[in-house]
Amino acid sequence: MQIRQNNNKGKKSKKTKSVKKKLFKLIKILLLLFLIAFIIVGAGALTIVYSYVKDAPDFDEGILPPSVTSYIFDNDGNEITRLYNEQNRIEIPLEQIPKHVQNAFIAIEDERFYEHFGVDPIAILRSFFINIRERRWGVQGGSTITQQLIKNAFLTPEKTNRRKVQEAWLAFNLERKYSKSEILEMYLNRIYFAHGAYGIEAAANTYFNKSANELTVAEGGLLAGVPRSPNFYSPYLNWNESMQRQSLVLNKMHEVGFISHRELVEAKEQEIILTDLQTREYPHPYFVDYVLHNELVNILLTMPEFSSREEAYEAIYNTGLKIYTTLDTKAQKATENVLSDESLYSQNIRVDMRRLKTLMAEGNYSRYPEETLSETGILQPQAAAVVANPVTGEVMALVGGRDYGKNNQDLRYLSRRQPGSAIKPLVTYAPAIEENMLTPGSILDDSPYIRGTWTPENFDRRFRGLITVREALVWSWNVPAVRAFEQLTPNIGMEYAKRMGLSTLHSDDFNLATTLGGLTHGVTAFDMAQAYAVLANQGIRIDFFTVKKIKDRNDQLIYEHRSEPEAVLSPQTAFLMTDILKDVVRRGTAGRLRIGYPVAAKTGTTNENRDAYLVSYTPEIVVSFWIGHDIPKLGTVAGGSGTPVTYMNALLPKIIEDLEPIDFVRPSGISGPISICNKSGLRPGPYCPSESIVSEIFPTGMVPQHNCNLHLEMEICTVSGLIPGNFCPDHEIETRTFLNRPDFELTDERWRGTVGRGPEDMGLMPPTNYCEEHSRPASEPIDFNVHLLIEPLRTLLEWQLHPDLIEYRIYRIKEGEEEASLLQKLPGSIGRYFDHTVERGVVYIYYLVGVNSEGVKSKPLEWVIFIPEDIQREDPPNDDNGNDVTAILPEQPQPGADNRGRGPKKPPP
């Protein structure tokens, strides 16, 4: 037994050794394969790295120049400005830069600056893992101060492995040739701080009006945060972002041991006081500012080379771009001159806006406090204008205010202000015409309107009654616009307005007050020009733009604008709206606009004239103009809607003086002019007065086909103005034309102003009551009788003469008829009448009415007679001499007898 056990152990031992041997052999093979793979990959990587290094620029110590200047050109290719032509750089030695300022830059940009050889592997690994964690590249960089210096001096800003390898290689070479102090000195004297300041000394002067050696820890921390993206982290441009960046720098300084906790707290508590920023020196700043900060930076962000606004601004100011714009220098200068002309303003006061905002935070003011008025303040009121080509979309001129300066750089054409009635064509009338709900000749009721507690009124608190769409818009009446907007619905109107170009409409604007300009945030002058350009361009929207193309420093085209037209309205709708808005100029609210050129326009003012708009356009130019106070409740626009016309009269002729006058093209599908009644919107009827007949144009498919059914003629008593009663004298009865208009409200205590007001055309409505002025009848005829005679069949009416009556009137009605007809008027000397028009089997009712010398009628005497089918002969009565009366009485109306007129209803008057 014991011998067998030892044998088994031996066998197991041999088997174990065999397995270990095989495993060891496998590991050696794998290690060998890994080593071979590593050598191959490494050799490949080294080959690639070598090729990158071989292609790297030569390390030329003379190539450490400032960044390449960028240029902006106008529409004709003329240079507007350089960004910047002369760099504000003051070179100083490192010894003049406080250690805490040096450390601020080292802490935020390269905390192991004194430890690495130009490239920081630890920072690279850290950035790698942070980017992995954030699941996107570019969140964290690993470039050292040395690499940043190399990148700006020798390389392009492209993000490629080639550029990174070359950057590391050149940084290594720079570190071999220069000491850390020399590299840091070059870096601090070279970096850009925005506003034309290059280097730490220029930055200290620009931001704090002091030398670099006077900077505090807090100030040094703020400046150290700027170079990451100068035009983004500048405290002048983005205060909150700048202070957040400063806090990050100070925290980093404490983290790496450059400052104590006490110094950190003191630095964060120090108040940052900036010096006044120097006025920009480039021309046409309102246009250039828009190009730089609103359009150009967004264009660059669409390119793969730029993933942030910081990188876009870096390219704008430092990479030698050539930016070709749409600026029309002549139009820009003209616009600037007009808006700067103080003689056009009814008020020119200067206000310290910082002081004003402080006071307003402490109390409520309705006018400018005396202590805010300052000779160095910002002029009030302010104005803004946008000039563009509606066909191409090119923005020709932009002016965002007057007196551009260090404290007044607001682009007010991008400020949201209430448009007043200038929005009516965009949200109401153009959409309603496009939706075939209205035409220029459609009728709207300008009568008292109420929804809930809201009672909109016209600015003069009058209600004009039934008016056409054209008149409602030409005179900018509010109530008709509200009724039209309600019919259209805010949803449809707002959607059209957005498509036309109004980008600031809010979800809370889906209400009826929107058509009057009562918006949540308002609109911009820029958007108003964009929207009206759709009307000027036959319903086609071409998005406005200011940048035509961009070339890089090597003159290679990297961007060119391409328009994408969108049909928002039909050409017919655009033309109809334009035709109405031309009437606004000819005879409406912009009636004082006179430029000797076909032009359409719309005015708009807000409550108490806080804001005033005027948008004017020709087939080739659209101009949007706004005037008001920066804080609306503190001032008004004297003259209301008429004020912008003064500016437009001064501006438009200068812009179009080189253009040949052309009118708007009338498209097919427009009919007219066609005569219509301006109360019914239909073709004139027989009773439409001449003053109600106007000419109008229509979409061909919506020309009215029926005649007016609102105008009618009625007899009235001229004494009472009511329907004639039975006893009104004939000479006081006349026929007049009336308007049978729809029902309406009368104002009550829910409306402001006088109660009992209604539409002015309610005075044209026909009376519904009978005259009570003439209540005493004339004397009645005596012994009225009717006899039936045969051979021939006829009736004989007879009565006794009355001395007070000068005329007798005979009326007849068949049983079943509604109206009695006048048979004959007889003089007061005749007392008999034969009716030869009777028929067998019919019941007749006769009325006899007497008229006295004053024209007053008597009460009617009535006689009913039935003529049977089998009538028997009856001899006619004779007179006193035995003569047949038929020989005496007129059996037919005598020549010239008055048988005209419509008979009275039963009973006759």
Query: CA distances (Å), 404 to each of 56, 156, 284, 377, 628, in order?
Result: 46, 36, 10, 11, 16
Torsion sign, CA atoms 364, 368, 374, 376: positive
Strand 547-551 to 557-560 pairing: antiparallel
The average pLDDT across 631-660 equals 91
**Per-residue tokens: 388:** 């563009």
Q: Is 421 a catalytic residue?
A: yes
Segment 96-113, tens digit of pLDDT: 999 999 999 999 999 888
CA distance linking residue 659 with residue 327, whole number of Å = 17
Handedness of CA 471, 477, 478, 480 (dihedral sign): negative
Q: Which of 109, 295, 336, 807 is catalytic?
A: 109
Reduce the DSSP state of residue 318 to 3 states and report it.
Answer: helix
776-834, pLDDT tens digit by residue?
A: 899 999 999 999 998 889 999 999 999 999 999 999 999 888 889 999 999 999 999 99
| In the chain, % of residues over pLDDT 70 | 84
pLDDT tier at 897 (50, 70, 90 boundaries)? very low
Q: Per residue in 250-276, pLDDT tens?
A: 999 999 999 999 999 999 999 999 998
Q: Which residue has the higher pLDDT, 209 or 18?
A: 209
Say which of 421, 476, 641, 858 is annotated catalytic: 421
What per-residue confidence (pLDDT) applies to 514?
96
Short-list 331, 329, 325, CA closest to 656: 331
What is the number of H-type helices and E-type strands within the chain? 24, 29
Mean pLDDT value across residues 85-99: 80
Residue 628 sits at φ, ψ, to 5 deg, of 175, -175
CB atoms under 10 Å from CB of 215, counted, come to: 23
Q: What is the pLDDT of residues 377-415, one digit of tens each?
A: 899 999 999 999 999 999 999 999 998 876 778 899 999
Overall residue count recorded for the chain in this entry: 909
The packing angle between helices 99-109 and 180-190, to 10°, is 90
The CA distance from 605 to 487, in Å, is 24
The predicted structure's pLDDT at residue 366: 83
**Active site includes 366?**
no
